[in-house]
């Protein structure tokens, strides 16, 4: 089968209700997207899988959900005010603007002109007014990454949980970047979500942990359905590292538009905790909370062996939710030619990511006994905790199967005349991938589905 094209995905996402352009009826807000009825389910499932793997399945990670509005000092000391920039260049002929590092052969990507302005640095952070009076110091930033609050809340989390290195703090949340050229659907947008872990380790062990996290994260993406041939770890050259990074792997995925970054796994050294500590020291904070004077001023940990305080190094796996959604959609999108010669579109999503787990289809919409049985089955299945189960009574059975193949529903359960006429009652269960159908007793359905989804 040919590789999935971006057009196929954009069309499916709009048609079936995964993703819409924001403010569509007003012509759209560039670089901003809304997730529709199925998109919100897929996105939530991806985030839940990440949280499960990064927090629940480990014994060394705590969670956090910090505010989006960020104190300017945080982003001053993190280096973002000074260095979170992209090089911006203008085409003198067609007046379009571009990221200078995305320009090939010195030519404008729109009109081909070589008359481009010298690149100048453009800060990507969104600034907003806090309170009713504009100007002066009454401003905050919309965070450009979720990471900073993890660093600024480091002391509070350690005090509340008594964690020792190595341990991590995980967070999923919105980030905002005023990208010069948002593009490639939801790949590069101005408002997006990040799934970030800051993993604090003893200095000297950081490079080993970098390797461990790179492997762990690659394996997690495979478990979300990404194929080994399409995901590569690219060790970044020193010259191309972000301002905070000592060493970084970009996990790059073969998106429909090319091989690009899906997740970064960075060794941020003690850059961030060190810088925020510097600010604390400048304030000359007094040790009124902690017995040890040093610990009040420092975002540090106490080493039980050396009996000394140290600023831990940080390994950061940072993944974009939108890029994750795009990757799993493009991997799952399949067009199959059936023996009949017809083509069926099927979204072969991993079961745990599928927006709808089971569609219950009453074969006759106006036959009250069939409809009632379908609703009873749906309500019972909901209690199993497998996720969204929905009634599908929008049309004929062929259309229902086609729709659910296209949105990736792993199983359809059909209630027909035989279901209400015979005892024990049975229903047809149809498998999305094999299209095989089997007759299952209603009383066995719950355990059948639990087995299918939860094992």
Contact 255, 331 (CB under 8 A): no
- Using CB under 6 A, pick the residue from 168, 173, 317, 320 that binds ligand ATP: 320
217 near ligand ATP (CB under 6 A):
no
SS3 95: coil
263 near ligand ATP (CB under 6 A):
yes
Beta carbons within 8 Å of 419's beta carbon, 6+ residues apart: 370, 373, 425, 426, 427, 442
For the record, the structure tokens of 69 come out as 């509005």
264 near ligand ATP (CB under 6 A):
yes
Per CB under 6 A, the segment of 159-167, 288-296, 317-325, 417-425 that binds ligand ATP is 317-325
Which single residue brings its beta carbon nearest to ligand ATP? 320
Work out how close the CB of 26 gets to ligand ATP at its nearest, in angstroms, rounded to a whole number. Answer: 22
Per CB under 6 A, the segment of 163-171, 274-282, 314-322, 339-347 that binds ligand ATP is 314-322
Number of residues in contact with ligand ATP, rule: CB under 6 A?
Answer: 15
Per CB under 6 A, the segment of 113-121, 165-173, 184-192, 212-220 that binds ligand ATP is 184-192
- Using CB under 6 A, pick the residue from 53, 189, 247, 386 that binds ligand ATP: 189
261 near ligand ATP (CB under 6 A):
yes
143 near ligand ATP (CB under 6 A):
no
For 161, phi then psi, to 5°, come to: -120, -10
Q: 419 vs 369, 414, 415, CA distance in Å?
A: 10, 9, 6
Nearer to ligand ATP, 319 or 346 (CB): 319
Give me the helices (H) in 84-200, please: 147-152, 154-161
177 near ligand ATP (CB under 6 A):
yes
DSSP 389-414: EEE--SS-HHHHHHHHHHHT-SEEEE
Distance CA 244, CA 249 (A): 14
Nearer to ligand ATP, 191 or 270 (CB): 191
Burial 25-57 (b: 16+ CB within 10 A, else e): eeeeeebbbebbebbebbbbbbbebbbebbbee
Q: Between residue 322 and residue 381, which ones bind ligand ATP under the rule CB under 6 A?
A: 322-323
198 near ligand ATP (CB under 6 A):
no
246 near ligand ATP (CB under 6 A):
no
Work out how close the CB of 316 gets to ligand ATP at its nearest, in angstroms, rounded to a whole number. Answer: 9
226 near ligand ATP (CB under 6 A):
no
Contact 61, 157 (CB under 8 A): no
For the record, the structure tokens of 86 come out as 């992209």
194 near ligand ATP (CB under 6 A):
yes
41 near ligand ATP (CB under 6 A):
no
Nearer to ligand ATP, 109 or 397 (CB): 109
443-452 long-range contacts, CB within 8 A, separation 24+: 445/377, 445/380, 445/381, 445/413, 446/380, 446/381, 446/384, 449/357, 449/358, 449/381, 449/384, 449/386, 449/411, 450/384, 450/386, 452/351, 452/410, 452/411
Half-sphere exposure (Cβ direction) of 427: Cα atoms closer than 13 Å: 26
Per CB under 6 A, the segment of 50-58, 260-268, 290-298, 410-418 that binds ligand ATP is 260-268
173 near ligand ATP (CB under 6 A):
no
Point out which residues bind ligand ATP (CB under 6 A): 177, 179, 188-189, 192, 194, 261-264, 318-320, 322-323
């Amino acid at each position: 089968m040919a590789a999935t094209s971006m057009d196929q995905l954009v069309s499916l996402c709009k048609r079936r209700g995964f993703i819409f352009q924001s403010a569509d009826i007003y012509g759209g807000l560039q670089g901003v997207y809304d997730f529709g009825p199925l998109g919100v389910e897929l996105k939530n499932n991806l985030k839940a899988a990440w949280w499960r793997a990064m927090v629940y399945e480990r014994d060394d990670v705590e969670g956090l959900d910090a505010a989006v509005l960020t104190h300017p000092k945080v982003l001053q000391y993190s280096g973002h005010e000074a260095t979170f920039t992209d090089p911006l260049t203008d085409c003198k002929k067609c007046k379009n603007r571009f990221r200078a590092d995305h320009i090939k052969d010195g030519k404008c990507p729109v009109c081909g002109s070589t008359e481009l302005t010298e690149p100048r640095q453009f800060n990507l952070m969104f600034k907003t007014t806090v309170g009713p009076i504009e100007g002066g110091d009454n401003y905050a930033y919309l965070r450009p990454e979720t990471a900073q609050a993890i660093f600024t809340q480091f002391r509070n989390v350690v005090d509340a949980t008594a964690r020792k290195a190595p341990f991590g703090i995980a967070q999923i949340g919105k980030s905002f970047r005023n990208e010069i050229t948002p593009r490639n659907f939801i790949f590069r947008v101005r408002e997006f979500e990040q799934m970030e872990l800051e993993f604090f380790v003893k200095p000297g062990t950081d490079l080993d942990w970098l390797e461990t996290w790179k492997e762990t994260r690659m394996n997690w993406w495979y478990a979300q359905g990404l194929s080994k041939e399409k995901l590569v770890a690219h060790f970044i050259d020193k010259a191309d590292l972000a301002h905070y990074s000592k060493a970084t792997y970009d996990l790059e995925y073969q998106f429909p538009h090319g091989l690009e970054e899906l997740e970064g796994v960075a060794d941020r050294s003690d850059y961030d905790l060190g810088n925020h500590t510097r600010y604390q020291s400048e304030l000359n904070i007094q040790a009124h909370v902690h017995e040890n004077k040093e610990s009040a001023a420092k975002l540090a940990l106490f080493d039980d062996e050396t009996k000394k305080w140290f600023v831990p190094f940080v390994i950061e796996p940072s993944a974009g939710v939108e890029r994750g959604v795009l990757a799993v959609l493009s991997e799952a999108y399949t067009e199959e030619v059936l023996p009949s010669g017809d083509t069926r579109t099927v979204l072969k999503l991993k079961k745990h990511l599928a927006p709808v787990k089971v569609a219950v289809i009453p074969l006759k919409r106006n036959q009250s006994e069939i409809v009632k049985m379908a609703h009873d089955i749906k309500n019972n299945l909901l209690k199993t905790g497998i996720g969204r189960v929905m009634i599908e009574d929008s049309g004929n059975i062929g259309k229902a199967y086609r729709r659910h193949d296209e949105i990736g529903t792993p199983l359809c359960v059909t209630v027909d005349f035989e279901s209400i006429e015979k005892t024990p009652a049975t229903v047809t269960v149809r498998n999305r991938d094999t299209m095989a159908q089997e007759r299952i007793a209603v009383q066995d359905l719950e355990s059948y589905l639990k087995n299918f989804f939860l094992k």
